[in-house]
Amino acid sequence: MQTIAFDIDADGIATLTIDVPGQTMNVIGPDFIADMDAAITRIASEEGIKGAVIASGKDSGFMAGMDLKFFGSMLAKAGDAPAPAALYDDLFVLNALFRRLETSGKPVACAVEGTCVGGGFELALACHRRFVGDSSKTQLGLPEILIGLFPGGGGSQRLPRIMGVQAALMYMLQGKLFRPAEAAMLKVVDAVVPQGTAVEAARDWVKANPNANTQPWDVKGYKVPGGAGGFNPAFVQTMAGALPMTLKQTQRNMHAPIALLSAVYEGITLPMDRAIQIESKYFARVAADPQASNMIRTLFVNKQAAERGARRPKDQPKAPTRKLAMLGAGMMGAGIATVAAQAGIEVVLFDRDLAYAQKGKAHVEAVLKKRLGKGMTPEKLAETLARVTPTTDYADLARADFVIEAVFEDVSIKAEVTKKVEEVLGADTIFGSNTSTLPITKLAQAWTKPENFIGVHFFSPVEKMPLVEIILGEKTGPAAIAKALDFVAQIKKTPIVVHDSRGFYTSRSFGTYVQEGAELVGQGVNPALIENAGKQLGMPTGPLAVSDEVSIELGWKIMSAAKKELGDAYVPQGSDDIMVKMVEAGRLGRKNGKGWYDYPEGAKKHLSPVLGEMFPRAAEQPAVEAVKERLLYRQLIECARCFEEGVLETPEDGDIGAIFGWGFAPYTGGPFSHMDTVGIAHVVAVLDRLAAAHGPRFAPTAQLREMAASGATFYRPVPAKAAA
């Protein structure tokens, strides 16, 4: 066996220790499936084996889910547009395997130390007893819904039979994970034992219970906790409420949650052998849908590749940051200081006013205090906070090996600060700017060695937002890229790498969503219709709400600065006049209590009735689908322009940046995955129609037209026939 060590002790108890070679975490692949199949055969057939314990040989945890590269190869084998029936047999293999385990005729206990999720947790559910080592870092559960799938190894059938349908659906539909004590309370695991003793506890149980070889659902008279079936009022109420709630939460965009509900509804009253067939039927439908493969590619495979340094220059030595010079102690600077200090990095938090610098450190403390009892102890809090030193003295920046600037968005102010820092640290130090819109190439002129100057664009709130956009100026060198990416890895964020442009990639493309929303208002479209269309599209909030959050005034300032900088080269947008009108009316956004929405004290925000007076409503309103189309395609064409202009080098960065940067509809896998899925020719046709109706901002790029003609896609630049 390549992935499982099979040992039998003097009591006849077999211990299966899973250790998948070449993987930091155990995953389910073809070798593991073959080895587990052989192991189950031995357990069931050898009389000398009285029972078995399944454990992990890795310090990283028990087991994650399916090896997604293996999963992708199964999909590829079935062709470009596989029918569910073509996938069913391959996908049912895991279900059949776990069913063989629980019906082997021998007691099987699972000893979980560390992470146990996805297919790994489904393996645990198929065991007759589950022991978990107590650790605050241990998580268990079925998070598949978050990448466009649902539990396909029996999890959708076993978990409801253990904890009841309503509770199980709550966890599975949200991809919510259990901590050990919570899992024990809900009877998902049988015992929480001191960390490091799970194997011993499992072995003792198997030895003491030689006849405990049958699952509860295989015992005659078994009843699902809380009840199930069409004649059970609680079950009917749960399922009747679950569907509309799920449709509302997903805006009818996600396919996996509905398939999960169907699998549970149909399978819960059937014998397990039939129930897992029902699960695999619906799982095959989801797997065959491009939505799942797009989400897996972006949210898991490409995200992990980015975090592991896919864009890092290979010839550069590791360059971890030990002392960070953080310039600016506002919300962004204080947030960056927080995540850096948590990563063990010494931080000098600089501001022109000591009170502001101290306020920045107070922010760090406040964030850390919220985490007390959640892995944070008072001792660890004090240790982390001690790494942050507020100051107004440039001399305190001495010996810093990385600089991040987050001062006011003004070229001259940034240049002044940059030059003063160079006087202390020298131009060999890597300097990063957290600007969200100002061109890095221009800002780099204030640093003597522009090859050591780079953009490091964080998103607010820094502590929660996972993305960091690394921006390369015209002269940015490989050492700066490596330094920035190593810092992002230290603070456990996800990076993308883009080239210089006003607004770069994320701010520029995200801005079109807000601009199109404003333009629709200016054309007399009902603001409520616009907001609902944005949410139905799959965006986190409507374009007007997000405009209020980031500040209408900020958008106006960015627009005014671009006009001043570009002069005659500036291309006016229809939304420009709308923003000017809002700012002149004093409607600046949430920060002053009135923007597109009103924010009455102590009451819920609401779209302002003033909007009807400022922008008279058109007599004829567009269909919601037409509004959704404009909001979507205005973003798509800007992303495509960024790709054509070389701001983006890869569609992977484009998809990751869109979803994790501004919340682009996750179910699509990102704008480039979406364009590939619906077809580039279709995208061009829609853009041509929109350009004819609404103006050149929708005009397709030359590259899109070439791709449509050749059959190329973003993820397959060479057409399939040509590649063959």
- Closest listed residue to residue 433, CA positions, set 425, 413, 423, 424: 413
- Closest listed residue to residue 289, CA positions, set 717, 677, 715, 679: 677
Measure the CA–CA gap between 79 and 77, rounded to whole angstroms: 6
Q: Which residue has the tokens 């005034």?
A: 553
Measure the CA–CA gap between 41 and 92, rounded to whole angstroms: 18
Measure the CA–CA gap between 154 and 565, rounded to whole angstroms: 60
Measure the CA–CA gap between 525 and 575, rounded to whole angstroms: 14
H/E stretch holding 37: helix 30-45
Question: In which region does residue 648 sit, left (phi positive, over 0), alpha (psi from -120 to 50) or beta (all else)?
Answer: beta
Residue 373: the pLDDT is 82
Give me the chain's average pLDDT, please.
95
Three-state secondary structure of 559-606:
HHHHHHHHHHHCCCCHHHHHHHHHHHCCCCEHHHCECCEECCCCCCCE
Measure the CA–CA gap between 711 and 485, rounded to whole angstroms: 35
Strands 467-472 and 4-8: unpaired
CB 274 within 8 A of CB 62: no
Confidence band for 662, pLDDT divided at 50, 70 and 90? very high
* Distances, alpha carbon 505 to alpha carbons 56, 145, 499, 509, in Å: 43, 28, 8, 6
**Does residue 723 carry a pLDDT above 50?**
no
Confidence band for 720, pLDDT divided at 50, 70 and 90? low
Residue 719: the pLDDT is 63
At 179, give phi and psi (nearest 5°).
-90, 160
Q: Which residue has the tokens 């990448």?
A: 147
**Does residue 275 carry a pLDDT above 60?**
yes
- Closest listed residue to residue 85, CA positions, set 285, 264, 279, 267: 285
Q: Which residues of 108-124 are buried (b: 16+ CB within 10 A; e: fewer)?
A: bbbbbbbbbbbbbbbbb
Confidence band for 261, pLDDT divided at 50, 70 and 90? very high
Confidence band for 375, pLDDT divided at 50, 70 and 90? confident
The pLDDT tens digits of the residues spanning 601-660 come to 999 999 999 999 999 999 999 999 999 999 999 999 999 999 999 999 999 999 999 999
The pLDDT tens digits of the residues spanning 499-545 come to 998 889 999 999 999 999 999 999 999 999 999 999 999 999 999 99
H/E stretch holding 389: strand 388-391
- Closest listed residue to residue 275, CA positions, set 315, 222, 236, 343: 222
**Does residue 722 carry a pLDDT above 70?**
no
- What the block records as the tokens of 675 is 């364009």
Average pLDDT of the residues in 167-180: 97
State CA 535 to chain mean position distance.
18
Measure the CA–CA gap between 341 and 380, rounded to whole angstroms: 11
Measure the CA–CA gap between 703 and 699, rounded to whole angstroms: 12
Three-state secondary structure of 291-348:
HHHHHHHHHHHHHHHHHCCCCCCCCCCCCCCCEEEEECCCHHHHHHHHHHHHCCCEEE
Return the percentage of the chain with pLDDT > 90, whole number: 91
Residue 611: the pLDDT is 97
The pLDDT tens digits of the residues spanning 124-169 come to 999 999 999 999 889 999 999 999 999 999 999 999 999 999 999 9
Average pLDDT of the residues in 412-429: 97
Residue 502: the pLDDT is 85
Confidence band for 724, pLDDT divided at 50, 70 and 90? very low
Q: Which residues are catalytic?
A: 457
Write the DSSP symbol of residue 117.
Answer: E
pTM: 0.94
